[in-house]
Structure 1
Amino acid sequence: MALLDILVAILETIVPFVAMFALLVGVHEWGHFRMARYLGISCTQFSIGVGRVLWSMTDRDGCEWQLRAIPLGGFVRFLGDRDATSVAPDGAGSALSPDEKRRRLLYRSPLDRALVLAAGPAANIALGLVVLAALYSGYGRPMVPPVIQSVIPGAPADVAGLRQGDRITSINGMRTDSFGDIYSEIALHPDEPVLVVYRREGVEQPVEAEITPKGVKVVTFGSAQTVGRIGITSGSAINQPTGPIDAVALGFWDVAKQTRAFIITLGQLLSGNRSIDDVGSPIRMASIAKNAAADGLSSWTFMLAVFSINLAVVNLLPLPVLDGGQLVLCAIEGAMRRPMKPQVMVYVQIFGACLLLTIMTVLTLNDLWTLIRSMAV
């Protein structure tokens, strides 16, 4: 029975994660694929997963659609690529006709290549927007008003003079429409001063206060994460009815907030203000996907939107093997007004791949160690 319980627990973790990851990667690669097709660039393979091919079909344009054994990744292969990463030309450029070159990504202008590269992250952002708008339109938007229910004596908010009933309108210039916005913004700034603007009943003008959130260790997935707290509590949640137009507007706003929060977190990590424990590998993503699925379809779908936005931001980082790094190379090539040497491109790609593999290995080992320690307690 214990073995069966273990198998069920594994399936409960793997299935929601694999479904989410495959969908995110599929949408990302679909963005690359559709932009390439729009520009007249030929695609020879569209693959979801890695490893052995389980199923494939070839469409009328000559693109082979594949489903592979391990659904953790995917790629689009363009005509003339030596491999799925589009590292270098195939050496036959001098023998190609102008029309054949036009159909190959590697011979297109830096602008065309940049459009194809940017279409992947753009597709993930679009997915996040559509999912959030659909959730808000269908379920409404659960929202806790940004009004202080109580203030903990001696806490940073109390020291700054905040009281019960104060409505916080912005933090560091970011509008706070809900208590969740307050929580998220404060959490990003442990032990860093923030400017809080609030309104108080009976006071005509907004009041400003500089507050330094106290850094607090919060255990997430068995690991301690430092977040900011100012010692205030919220009232009860209300369900905010949302029409289709408002749902799209709220979706745009939430996409912007999620993107900003993720960028701030990365900046704090690079500057040393955040621990590596605050960044997760696919192991942590699997745990979050499992917990979200256990809370219901709407919760899992919301996390799908969040991860889709995060995936877009990660892919835009200037690492050579990622879309962002390739966009930087396209910009350099455009400024130089001549193609970069294939050998240089190969070395840059190898460096980027090694760097990314090192980062993922460190994050995965860190999450594995955290998981082992939590199981041993």
Structure 2
Amino acid sequence: MELTGLLPDFGNLAFTILAFLAALTVIVAVHEYGHYIVGRWSGIKADVFSIGMGPVLFARKDRHGTSWQIAAFPVGGYVKFHGDANVASGSADEDAMAVMSAEERRHTMHGAPLWARTATVAAGPIFNFVLSVLIFAGLALATGIARDPLSVAKPLNVPGMEEGLREGDEILSIAGYDMPALAEFYTIVEKLPDTAQVGYQVRRDGQVVDVTATHPFPALVGSVTPKSAAIDAGLKVGDFIATVDGTPVPTFNTLREVVLNGDGAAMTLGILRDGTPMEVTLTPRRQDLPSADGGFETRWLIGITSGMVFEPATRTPGLWESIGSGGERVMYIINSSLSGLWHMITGAISSCNLSGPLGIAQVSGQAASLGATSFISFIAMLSTAIGLINLFPIPVLDGGHLVFFAYEAVTGKPPSEKVLNVLLAIGLSLVVALMVFGLTNDLFCP
């Protein structure tokens, strides 16, 4: 793939880079602040808290003696604790430590008790997970969740809705299927006929009324996936897909079947955008997706999710409900990531599923182009991924340091300096190799 092929159609390289750096800066700042604040609570002093690497552009020292700085290259950050030989906190500055008193050594990373060092190192990834949970919870609080019983807040302006559902209608049944509790709504959606219109029974102004309206899930674009055929082709949220290669697709399920059975052939979509008919041509892509049994399945996809034919009435969830929902999303991302990594290692799915910095930057820009909600959700997902990666038991990563601490807890002494340096070199080599592999995927995978 040409490098220019990674540039999104919606904008330019500068926008993509800015979006990526904005996301990365937030995530790195939270990660490093976790190390810093838990270290401070544990009695470990920090000499430097840096956002960015390289030459210092701005610095200010606080009353705790920590220099807070912004460096020239916004591609990471670090906390340099008192007594560290370098910003990686992997080894001590032996000369400095040798002249410290016992009390001063207690305030260094290398002289602190094992529990304090463990808590300080683990705090970085944990803060990443907390950030993700809070973002997902905040989005739930801001946007609300569908109210039970399912009711119409606003019918969309799509074909077949002219005399159908109205604002305030409470859905009692669809196509003869009584509405269950909202949590089970999709069980009846799967049973609905694949017809452009279906019958609804609604409660309207206190009266039970039968109406005919558009299928609740027509071929309507509810969201567009970054780095997909749909976003490359310019599809937008709200586009109503009426035909594929001239053949009507009355429901989203019909569209899905057409794409699945198309064997990756290019297709022309006839769409309505704000009432204006137009055509879009795209080519589906094979993708590996998590399946319900915990495995993966490979399917042809164009990169959209379905939208409902009406905006459901919502309620504002409680704080704990929102946090619980955010926690569930973070756990889903972690489980899917670990499962995907295992399936790549075993060869069950393509290693092209692993993106490098260019691919992540591209997704950053595309997520930003889709709106604030999409970009904020992307930050939460990326924060979870970075927290998870940092827990891998690889020397130079936080997980590697935690393994060293576990060894110390069992044996009563840390690994020797010589062994530690060798392991750190191996870990650095692994991380660099992984980055190169991801970059290769960015350039050459379809």
Q: TM-score, normalised by structure 2?
A: 0.62
Further displaced range: 257-266 or 324-333: 257-266
Deviation (angstroms), 1:102: 0.5
Residue 111 of structure 1 aligns with an amino acid whose one-letter code is: W
Deviation (angstroms), 1:365: 2.2
Deviation sequence 1:125-178 (CA, Å, 0-9, x none) = 110011111100011247994336458xxxxxxxxxxxxxxxxxxxxxxxxxxx
- Judge conservation of contact 2:288–2:299 (CA < 8 Å) in 1: no
Partner of 1:186: none
1:243 equivalent to 2:314? Answer no
Deviation sequence 1:347-373 (CA, Å, 0-9, x none) = 111110011001101111220234xxx
The structure 2 residue matched to 1:322, chosen from 397, 403, 419, is 397
Deviation (angstroms), 1:63: 1.0
Alpha-carbon separation, structure 1, partners of 2:9 and 2:366: 16
The structure 1 residue matched to 2:59, chosen from 42, 56, 68, is 56
Partner of 1:10: 13
Greater fraction of residues in helix: 1
Q: Which residues of structure 1 form unaligned runs of 5+?
A: 152-213
Deviation (angstroms), 1:323: 0.7
Q: Which residues of structure 2 form unaligned runs of 5+?
A: 1-7, 147-181, 192-259, 267-283, 290-296
Alpha-carbon separation, structure 2, partners of 1:276 and 1:329: 30
Deviation (angstroms), 1:217: 8.1
Deviation (angstroms), 1:6: 9.8
Residue 113 of structure 1 aligns with an amino acid whose one-letter code is: R
Alpha-carbon separation, structure 2, partners of 1:32 and 1:223: 41
Alpha-carbon separation, structure 2, partners of 1:114 and 1:218: 53
The structure 2 residue matched to 1:308, chosen from 383, 387, 391, is 383
Partner of 1:172: none
Partner SS state of residue 186, structure 2: coil
Distance 1:271 1:103, change over 3 A: same
Alpha-carbon separation, structure 1, partners of 2:85 and 2:57: 22
Deviation sequence 1:292-320 (CA, Å, 0-9, x none) = 11111111111111111111111111111
Partner of 1:34: 37
Partner of 2:374: 299
Percent identical among aligned pairs is 29
Distance 1:242 1:229, change over 3 A: farther
Alpha-carbon separation, structure 1, partners of 2:23 and 2:353: 21
1:334 equivalent to 2:409? Answer yes
1:66 equivalent to 2:66? Answer no
- Judge conservation of contact 1:280–1:363 (CA < 8 Å) in 2: yes
Pairs aligned (count): 306
Greater fraction of residues in strand: 2
Select the structure of larger CA radius of gyration: 2
Alpha-carbon separation, structure 1, partners of 2:355 and 2:39: 32
Alpha-carbon separation, structure 1, partners of 2:105 and 2:421: 20
- RMSD over equivalenced CA pairs, Å: 3.3
The structure 2 residue matched to 1:272, chosen from 347, 350, 356, is 347
Distance 1:23 1:147, change over 3 A: same
Partner of 1:147: 187
Deviation (angstroms), 1:91: 1.9
- Judge conservation of contact 1:218–1:225 (CA < 8 Å) in 2: no
Q: TM-score, normalised by structure 1?
A: 0.73
Partner SS state of residue 107, structure 1: coil
Residue 98 of structure 1 aligns with an amino acid whose one-letter code is: A
Alpha-carbon separation, structure 1, partners of 2:129 and 2:14: 29
Distance 1:60 1:251, change over 3 A: same
- Judge conservation of contact 1:149–1:235 (CA < 8 Å) in 2: no
